[in-house]
Structure 1
Amino acid sequence: MTTYRLGMLTPSSNTCLEPVTYRLLHGTDDVTAHFARVPVTRIALDGGSDAQFDPAPMLAAARQLADARVDVIVWNGTSGSWLGVDHDRALCVAITEATGIPATTSTLALLDACAAYGVTRLGLAVPYTRDVAERIVATYAEEGLHATLAEPSGVSDNEAFARIPRADVARQIEEAAPDSHAVAVVCTNVFGAEPAAGLEPSLGIPVFDSVAATLWRALDLAGAAPVLTGHGDLLRSGSLRARFQEALAALLDATGADRTTLRLDVPDHGLHVDLTAAEALGDGIRSIRRDASLDQRRLNTVRWLEEHRAPLVQPHFRDDPHPPQALVDVYGVNAQMLSPVVRGDDMTGWISVHSMRERDWTGRDTAALAAAMGRVHDLLDTYGRYGKAHSA
């Protein structure tokens, strides 16, 4: 059995992330977490606070973690959310150059979670002062996220973040949720993992706690294929969704199409064909990801897939089977390729490749679709109900 070792760079005054990480890993026997502390005591927008995040002490601690032969090293702090994401990207490069070990950060993990779920509108629950919170909104805007704030807690002492009651964190999450695709609890010293997971069913959107998101991405980078249940959708299904996104982006690039989508019925991962499991878009193309207005299984083209269990290649829509008129009128599609996802006796879903103009699909295009389909099948066998789900 492969054992995965996770190296965590921890703010010195943090009393949350270690116990929460252990709690999230409870019941697994193939993952261990190892922590090294670096001095961080106060969060503000000034030179003294910023100096705490100098790379030198982090690199020294990372080298010590490397002595334990960890599989990944993460900065388990959200400072990149106000210092700028490039600060974290440079830190990860420096850690990997110094240790030869892949690296990430809590901020990058949150952004990766948003990418996996196609989030462009993000609600924020933060413990910081308002000026720090507003800087985070601006930082995320630079990454293509429209962020809205719940009222910040107004705290600057890092140790005190862990004393914020869980009920207050839950209220912030609920306040940040309306009109958002997801909510993020941004701070690894806030006990947000439990309220985040608990509120997801009633809110109907994912809630990304920073500690849980950091653990998810660390497991993912280590190659652990995480499927941790009972702690929210990200730890259960985030890696599967991220791999789907990668497959669809590769298909979009290979075909030069305008949109690729994947629809699946996999209840164990909260997936239903009426909403896409993943989507990749060309420049200026409208997203179809959250449009659940059609009963997808009743569409003419989907019934054709169900009957023939073979790819449907349509250079135009003048012949049967005709797609729904909304696909043409609302989303501007004038040609498409569809391929069924078949596991066992079930047509579990399908991949769609859309073009805004009529086009003759080539053998290279259909080969790219077949390759994407093979990747989806492999992923379902690794993460899904059709294969053995790994505990982590």
Structure 2
Amino acid sequence: MTALGFLYPGHSAEDDYPRIEQLLGSDIRLPLVHTDIGEDAHRVDALLEMGSVDRLAAGVEELRLSGAEAVVWACTSASFVYGWQGAHEQVRSLALAAGLPASSTSFAFAHAAREIGAERVAVAATYPEDVASLFVAFLKDAGLEVVSMRGSGIITAAEVGTWGEDEVLALAREGDHPDADAVLLPDTALHTASHIPALEKALSKPVLTANQVTVWEALRLADRRVNAPQLGALFTKEPIVQV
């Protein structure tokens, strides 16, 4: 049995995690602890506070008691908002607090894109454009070429959490670009676990979504690989061998 721990901000699309656990169909548990988010707002000041070390550290003891072998900060915006170096420091602080290998959803996107060999990506974000542009900068620092970006102007995670399959499909289609090797949907407040096959069929290319890559990143930290076709190309492709 492998337990992988997640710190999830507030309450929006956390039910993606038991759904993904079911789809993995293996001896893997995904315990999740909710963090106190403060103000629910996709604004830089609110996101910096949401991802502060003290807020994250408050949940690590519960994850340790769950037997988690790794921990991932299951939030994209409140990690990339710190910038490339700041996001690294956030993860280092989390690893020290937890005494476990640690990462965040922002790094999960960078690692997952590399895993599937996607060098050029399109970003289809729920965020306001100023916040989405910070994710683009983060991806560029990770060595990816961002060929297009779409922001949706949604301020709260609570609103994003109400979106269904139709809204998710529309977001992905509007954010796609002919030159993109993959489309990235970077919000863990967005329900996507049940929609990935439909997304990839509609776009005819890999789609990376926040909760999907977050779980994949935890598996990577634990050195586990699971074939789960219902979770998309990321969970079915052989890893790209770096030369």
TM-score (norm. length: structure 1): 0.57
Which whole-Å CA distance do the structure 2 matches of 1:186 and 1:51 have between them?
19
Aligned ranges 1:123-272 → 2 under 5 Å: 123-177=122-176, 178-237=178-237, 240-241=238-239, 244-245=240-241, 249=242
Among 48, 54, 57, which residue is 2:55 paired with?
57
Which whole-Å CA distance do the structure 1 matches of 2:84 and 2:93 have between them?
14
Are the equivalent residues in 2 in contact too, given 1:170–1:196 (CA < 8 A)? no
Which whole-Å CA distance do the structure 1 matches of 2:186 and 2:66 have between them?
29
Partner of 1:34: 31
Aligned residues: CA RMSD: 1.9
Deviation at 1:232, TM superposition (A): 0.7
Aligned ranges 1:275-354 → 2 under 5 Å: 280=243
Deviation at 1:91, TM superposition (A): 2.2
Question: Based on CA coordinates, which of the two structures has the bigger radius of gyration?
Answer: 1
Deviation at 1:126, TM superposition (A): 0.9
- CA gap 1:119/1:93 in 2 versus in 1, 3 angstroms: same
Deviation at 1:111, TM superposition (A): 0.4
Deviation at 1:144, TM superposition (A): 2.0
- CA gap 1:122/1:82 in 2 versus in 1, 3 angstroms: farther
TM-score (norm. length: structure 2): 0.89
Among 65, 68, 80, which residue is 2:66 paired with?
68
Letter in 2 for 1:109: A
Partner of 1:368: none
Which whole-Å CA distance do the structure 2 matches of 1:193 and 1:30 have between them?
19
Deviation at 1:59, TM superposition (A): 1.5
Which whole-Å CA distance do the structure 2 matches of 1:29 and 1:165 have between them?
27
* 3-state SS of paired residue (2:59): helix
- Give 5+ residue unaligned stretches, structure 1: 250-279, 281-392
Which whole-Å CA distance do the structure 2 matches of 1:212 and 1:10 have between them?
13
Are the equivalent residues in 2 in contact too, given 1:120–1:181 (CA < 8 A)? yes
Which whole-Å CA distance do the structure 2 matches of 1:100 and 1:50 have between them?
23
Q: How many residues align?
A: 238
- CA gap 1:173/1:216 in 2 versus in 1, 3 angstroms: same
- Give 5+ residue unaligned stretches, structure 2: none
- CA gap 1:165/1:29 in 2 versus in 1, 3 angstroms: closer
Letter in 2 for 1:197: P
Deviation at 1:140, TM superposition (A): 1.8
- Percent same amino acid at aligned positions? 22
* 3-state SS of paired residue (2:195): helix
* 3-state SS of paired residue (1:198): helix
